[in-house]
Amino acid sequence: MLLYTLLAGLLFGLYFSLIGLGLNLVFGVMRIVNLAHGDFLMLGAFLAFWLFTLFAINPISAILIVFASFAVVGLPLYYLLVPRLLKARDPEMLSFILFFGLSQVIEAVTTIAFGTSERSIPGGQLGIVIAAVKGFFTGHKVDNGPIDIFGQTFPAAWVASGVVSGLAVLFVYLYLYRTRLGYLTRAVMVNREEAVATGINVHRVSAFAFGIGLGLAAVAGVFAPFMLGSITPAMGVEVTVTSFTVIVIGSLGNPLGTVLGGLIYGISYMFMQSYYSSWANLLPYVLLIAILLVRPSGLLGRQVRRA
């Protein structure tokens, strides 16, 4: 039971990291709060759902399509919204309200287009991929079904989501620390004014970060039917709060801190579910407030406090 809870917590923790990652990247680079984050996740889930239903594209193969389409949408959306917002007197606060408006628009359009019924993708679809990968490496045919880790059995969908989330984190790490654009992105994160003064095209860097952020949210959406339950147009708000909890625990504005936040969140969530389930829903909020009060800049954040 203990080992099972711990491992399940790790898998969910990786997934929660993926949920928060895009939001944190956007906040870190632009210092704006994307309150529509959960809605982009929802849109990603719907895209994966339709790709599967209409073209029978397996969710795993859909990841690249989903990521690319949202990253491409993110670039113009950035230029449409953010530069204007940053000129305002208090962009951080106003971004709350602006992106709340965007979230309302997305939710409304999705409701008008698809209605409010709940949709899902069969969990076996992810198992097929894992079985195929295992079969490829071991050389003999592997059955499609639950997966054993250290003697504990988990649904294949959980394992697939955890693995993909881990890969996505690795991808963001490589982008930030091994590419030139990532190097510039980190410069903007550290100090926007100085980055402008050094001649960095801040808007281009931010637009890419915004696109990647939306793309990551959408990829997390691909796994939402397996990890968060069925998808509806109204699911965004709850996801947004969860992602906030995750990134605040890790530390706001530090994308890799998200992983720590996700793991802590995932493991404590699983423990609450197993041992104290009637109060489990309270956990994210209490954890969020507690961490904010003890370490306002998050567990990995540097101490920067003004006034």
Partner 1 sequence: MPRIIRHVLLILVPVVGAFAILPSIYSNHLLLFNFMIFIMLAQGVNVIYGFTGYLPFGYVGFFGAGAYGFSLMVIHLQAPPLLALPVGAGAAVALGLLLTPLFRLSGAYFSIANLAAALAVLQVVSNPNLENITKGPYGISLSGVFNPTLAYATALAVLAATLGLVVYLRNSRFGMALQAIREDPISASMAGINVVRERIIAWLLSALIAGLAGGVFAWYVSVFYPETVFSGEFTIFAIVFALFGGNATVTGPILGVVILYGLYNAVGISTPQYFQLIYGALIMGLVLFLPNGLVSLLRRWGLNVP
Q: Which is nearer to partner 1, 244 or 269 (CB)?
A: 244
Gyration radius (Cα) of the chain, Å: 19
- DSSP string computed for 51-71: HHHHH---HHHHHHHHHHHHH
| Shortest CB 117 distance to partner 1, Å | 14
Taking alpha carbons only, the member of 101, 97, 109 closest to residue 42 is 109
| Shortest CB 135 distance to partner 1, Å | 45
Provide the b/e sequence for 261-295 (b: ≥16 CB within 10 Å). Answer: bbbbbbbbbbbbbbeeeeebeebbeebbeebeeee
Structure token pair of residue 164: 């993909």
Residues engaged in binding partner 1 (CB under 8 A): 27, 33, 81, 84-85, 88-90, 92-94, 96-98, 100-109, 111-112, 237, 241, 244-245, 248, 252, 278-279, 281-282, 284-286, 288-289, 292-293, 296, 305-307
| Shortest CB 280 distance to partner 1, Å | 10
| Shortest CB 82 distance to partner 1, Å | 10
Q: Which is nearer to partner 1, 129 or 241 (CB)?
A: 241
| Shortest CB 172 distance to partner 1, Å | 21
Crossing angle, helix 91-114 and helix 236-250, to 10 degrees? 140
- Rounded Cα–Cα distance for residues 44 and 103 (Å): 14
| Shortest CB 130 distance to partner 1, Å | 36
- Rounded Cα–Cα distance for residues 31 and 27 (Å): 5
Q: Which is nearer to partner 1, 31 or 204 (CB)?
A: 31
| Shortest CB 169 distance to partner 1, Å | 22
| Shortest CB 235 distance to partner 1, Å | 14
- Rounded Cα–Cα distance for residues 144 and 284 (Å): 34
- Identify the bridge partners of residue 148 per DSSP, sorted by sequence position: 153
Q: Which is nearer to partner 1, 105 or 196 (CB)?
A: 105
Q: Which is nearer to partner 1, 109 or 167 (CB)?
A: 109
Contact 261, 246 (CB under 8 A): yes
Q: Which is nearer to partner 1, 121 or 291 (CB)?
A: 291
The 3-class SS string of 203-252 reads HHHHHHHHHHHHHHHHHHHHCHHHHCCCECHHHHHHHHHHHHHHHHHHCC
Alpha carbon 190 to chain centroid distance? 22
- Rounded Cα–Cα distance for residues 179 and 33 (Å): 25
As a whole number of Å, the end-to-end CA separation of the chain is: 47
| Shortest CB 241 distance to partner 1, Å | 7
Count the helix, strand and coil residues of the chain and give each as a percent rounded to the nearest 5.
75, 5, 20
